[in-house]
Amino acid sequence: SQSLRFLPSHEGVPATGCFAEEMREMREQPIDPQAEQEIINSIQEVYYSNDSFDMVQHELEKLPPELNLQELEEYRDKLKRQQAAELERVTSLQTNLQLAAVICTNARRQLSISKEDFTEASLGLLANQRRRHLLTGLLKSLRTIKTLSGSYLRFLFLVCVSVLTFKHYSCISELNSKLQDTLEQIEEQLDVALSKTCKHFDVSHYTRVQLAYTLLEKTQTAMDQLHMHFTQAIHNTVFQVVLGYVELCAGNADTKFQKMQYKDLCTHITQDSYVPCLSDLCKALWEVMLSYHRTMQWHEEQDKEEAPPTTGMHEAAVDHSYVKKKLEHGLTRIWQEVQLKVKAYLLGTDMSNFKYDDFIVVLDVISRLMQVGEEFCGSKSELLQESIKRQSVNYFKNYHRTRLEELRMFLENETWELCPVKSNFNIAQLHEFKFMGQSRSPSVSPSRQVLSSQDQVLSSQDQEVLSLFQHFSQEGNPFERHIDNKDEETEDVLASNGYESDELEKCVYQDYDSDSDVPDELKQDYVDEQTGDVPLKSASRETLRSRKKSDYSLNKGSNAPILTNTTLNVIRLVGKYIQMMNILKPIAFDVIHCVSQLFDYYLYAVYTFFGRNDMYESSGPGLISSRLRTTLNRIQESLIQMSLGEGSASVHGGPGEDRKEKVPSPHLSQLVVLTASETLYGLAQRVVATESLVFLAEQFEFLQSHLDTMMPAAKKPFLQQFYSQTVSTASELRKPIYWVVAAKALDYEQMLLLMAGVKWDIREIMSQHNVYVDVLLKEFEEFNKRLGDVSRHVRVPLPVSNVLWEHCIRLANRTLVEGYGNVKKCSNEGRALMQLDFQQFLMKLEKLTDMRPIPDKDFVETYIKAYYLTENDMEQFIKNHREYSMKQLANLVNVCLGSHINKKARQKLLAAIDDIDRPKR
């Protein structure tokens, strides 16, 4: 543009039309390039000086004082030529610039397209193609070397020998250095490839790696490296699994966890993430162990299939032997490393407050892991057993303590109402005892029975034959199924509205002598379909028929077991305890000891609530056996925390640990009323409480064989003693509990008053019995009626009704003897009247009860007949019949014999009575 500044049009001087035409004509005329260049060169430099240069002013100043038109026109033509030449140059330059701009734009567009189409991968392909071209040349060289030497490794060997021989040649030394670097790189890459087999074993991959090591003649080195890699794989695996859960629960990007030791990292696992983390931990370790197992299988198959070649047979045999021993020794090392890692995880968290279901999962996972260890290397997993035992004892003590406190709460809030269950109810139907149906052999871990879904296609025999490593060799994981293995079946043990069916409701009121109302399940032994066992002793048809005659069972669900909600809770709890023991045998004794405490506390509560009554207990003839009394004393001393004033032990206190394990004595709920005569002093509640205890004892009897197989040999006497001295005494509580009812059910004091008003020194034989007999029989009729009323709400089993009738009859007979013993004067006719009264009582009583013989019948008859004894016979009678009180014996001597023996003889007999130590019956 500067080159055009001399034009008049650029300086504001408009170019006329003629001027423009002239300029166009001049440009259109052909100009010699050389001439044109000379014209351009003739332009003065001042025209190119700067932008502010005023060309018009400059030309005007150059004009001479005297103007010549011809010279001016020539000079003007010269300027026009210069302008035309310069304008031609500018136009050409402008055209070139435009072309250049177009070229740049196209180039940029093509470059952009290249950038989009040719990615890094495409360029990588080009690079690989280039590398391939180079490697092709290298391959030709290597093939040439191979042809010359016979084998690459042989060549290396020869080269190494040559290096030693010709090391003074610099080229040989350099060749040796390069070959050594190449070998090191090859070994490094092989080592990386070998390490990859530790987590995911691939046959083809491992085969190639082993072939490479064989070619390098470093098979033994490969085995040493392999074990190091497995150990490292275990460490890296467990660390990454635990680290992932810790960081996830921490919820921040803090990197401090990555720098922690594994043992410290385990202490940061939260309770909610503990179980899933343990499961993932075992899954990951299983993969490592499975890889090792498959590695061993590969070598075993190679030993079978590939016989060593003739040449080098000795070296090959040495390699095979070394590999075999190394792998076998590595089994124990690998499993020890697994145990150490899991032990650190187990002991890193206090599990004492875990939920029961979570802890059971932990036990089952560890049990399964120990099973893996046993199949992996025959290990008994002492480290795992010790760790889980420590946690289990800690957990179980805390769990059991809480359960005992809950049991006390249940018992203190229990109103002893009947829990309506079906007549064929059995504990095997409860969820807590399902595991017993899965395996009848406690030696088989539950994890063996619960495998993946495809296992169920196999027969049970096949499942026993297949090991975990065989079953999950190709796919699956023995630790995958458990967490989701929730039993969603619903229990069907409760009777509907107290009845099992409408038919049963109708049958209840059918003919008393018919057994048509007995469900079919009770007419035959109840056999659990899963276990094949007969859990309870079933009654025969004859027993059931006789029971229908004697049982007060005209009530809803007449044949159903008698139990309460608390009983059901205790049974469920026992199931949980046994399930825990079944999974973890090392704490079997601790669990069984706690199971016995559950039964002890229930028995003690039932006795305390319904059987302990000092007024009647002391008067009962042998109600509590020495065995039962010993059991109750043992429970009180070992389990019951006595409050101040209840026992001497509480005054002195005792070891803190002992007090911690004890439970306060339970108290009967205020809602339970035991003083109303119209309810026979809470007989319904007493029946439910006592018979639920008997039912609980029956379930314990059913479980005895299973518990015995779980109990360590050294502790078996404890279990046997528990059953012989505690469980078997449950039914013995019926006597003291129902004695309290029998002692209040009849008005025995009224009988004594009526008998005291009878005149016994009569002189003629009477044909009519005394009124007190009718009154006593009426009392029995009323008792029978009330017993029937109670049975409409709660079934009164035959053993219970027998105990009640026995107690009442015994008390009535003792009242009769006591009344006869209070007689001041009695004649022979009076003694005959006593016999008449008693025979009348027996005859009417036998119509009210099926009991045969009548209890204590001989007790009354023997006493009446003693009135006829001589002096010598009476002395022997006193020695032989210590069941009578001193007062009753003295009455025989004073009243009956006093009329026909002298005073000295009477004194002798009374002295014999005083000398006899008479423990009350």
pTM above 0.75, yes or no: no
The pLDDT score that the predictor gives to residue 698 is 93
Residue 557 clears pLDDT 90, i.e. is over it:
no
User: Which amino acid appears at position 7 of this protein?
Assistant: L
Residue 450 clears pLDDT 90, i.e. is over it:
no
Over pLDDT 90: what percentage of the chain?
A: 22
The top-scoring range by mean pLDDT among 10-14, 34-38, 461-465 is: 34-38
* Contact (CB, 8 A) for 707 and 592: yes
Please give the Cα distance from 260 to 270 (Å, whole number). Answer: 17
The top-scoring range by mean pLDDT among 306-315, 426-435, 695-704 is: 695-704
552 DSSP β-pair partners: 796
What pLDDT digit, counting tens, does each position of 738-759 carry?
A: 998 999 889 999 999 999 999 9
The pLDDT score that the predictor gives to residue 515 is 40
- If pLDDT is split at 50, 70 and 90, which confidence band does 314 have? low
What pLDDT digit, counting tens, does each position of 780-825 carry?
A: 999 999 999 998 888 899 899 999 999 999 999 999 999 998 888 8
The pLDDT score that the predictor gives to residue 5 is 41
- If pLDDT is split at 50, 70 and 90, which confidence band does 437 have? low
Which is more confident, 496 or 420? 420
What pLDDT digit, counting tens, does each position of 843-895 carry?
A: 999 998 888 889 889 999 998 888 888 778 888 888 888 888 888 888 888 87
State both tokens at 59: 């030309």
Measured over the CA atoms of residue 80, residue 84, residue 89 and residue 94, the dihedral's sign is: positive
**Helix (H) and strand (E) counts for the chain?**
38, 2
Q: Interhelix angle for 17-28 vs 69-117, to 10°?
A: 70
* Contact (CB, 8 A) for 909 and 874: yes
Per-residue DSSP letter, 892: I
What single string gives the DSSP state of each residue in 214-283? HHTT-HHHHHHHHHHHHHHHHHHHHHHHHHHHHHHHHTS---GGGGS-HHHHHTT--HHHHHHHHHHHHH
Peptide bond into 853 cis (omega under 30): yes
CA 577 to chain centre: 12
The pLDDT score that the predictor gives to residue 308 is 52
Please give the Cα distance from 867 to 837 (Å, whole number). Answer: 16
Lowest mean pLDDT among 85-94, 641-650, 870-879, 907-916: 641-650
421 DSSP β-pair partners: 494
Please give the Cα distance from 582 to 710 (Å, whole number). Answer: 7
Which is more confident, 819 or 209? 819
Residue 137 clears pLDDT 90, i.e. is over it:
no
Q: Provide mean pLDDT across the span 20-45.
A: 70
State both tokens at 101: 């701009």
The pLDDT score that the predictor gives to residue 542 is 44
The pLDDT score that the predictor gives to residue 809 is 93
The pLDDT score that the predictor gives to residue 519 is 39
Residue 216 clears pLDDT 60, i.e. is over it:
yes
Please give the Cα distance from 616 to 814 (Å, whole number). Answer: 14
Residue 16 clears pLDDT 50, i.e. is over it:
no
User: Which amino acid appears at position 58 of this protein?
Assistant: H
- If pLDDT is split at 50, 70 and 90, which confidence band does 120 have? low
Rg of the chain taking only CA atoms, in angstroms: 55
Q: Provide mean pLDDT across the span 339-346.
A: 91
The pLDDT score that the predictor gives to residue 540 is 42
- If pLDDT is split at 50, 70 and 90, which confidence band does 165 have? low
Q: What is the mean pLDDT of the chain?
A: 77
For residue 869, give every residue at least 6 positions away whose Cβ sits within 8 Å of its Cβ, in sequence order, or none: 877, 892, 896, 897
The pLDDT score that the predictor gives to residue 77 is 86
For residue 714, give every residue at least 6 positions away whose Cβ sits within 8 Å of its Cβ, in sequence order, or none: none
What pLDDT digit, counting tens, does each position of 515-538 carry?
A: 434 334 333 333 333 334 444 443
Please give the Cα distance from 726 to 634 (Å, whole number). Answer: 10
> Which long-range contacts link 61-68 to residues 24+ away (Cβ below 8 Å)?
none
Please give the Cα distance from 696 to 699 (Å, whole number). Answer: 5
Please give the Cα distance from 555 to 543 (Å, whole number). Answer: 19
Residue 596 clears pLDDT 90, i.e. is over it:
yes
Q: Provide mean pLDDT across the span 116-120.
A: 66
Query: Parallel, antiparallel, or unpaired: how do β-strands 640-641 and 663-664 relate?
Result: parallel
Q: Interhelix angle for 382-413 vs 313-347, to 10°?
A: 30
Residue 641 clears pLDDT 80, i.e. is over it:
yes
Measured over the CA atoms of residue 223, residue 226, residue 232 and residue 237, the dihedral's sign is: negative
Q: Provide mean pLDDT across the span 645-653.
A: 43
- If pLDDT is split at 50, 70 and 90, which confidence band does 174 have? low
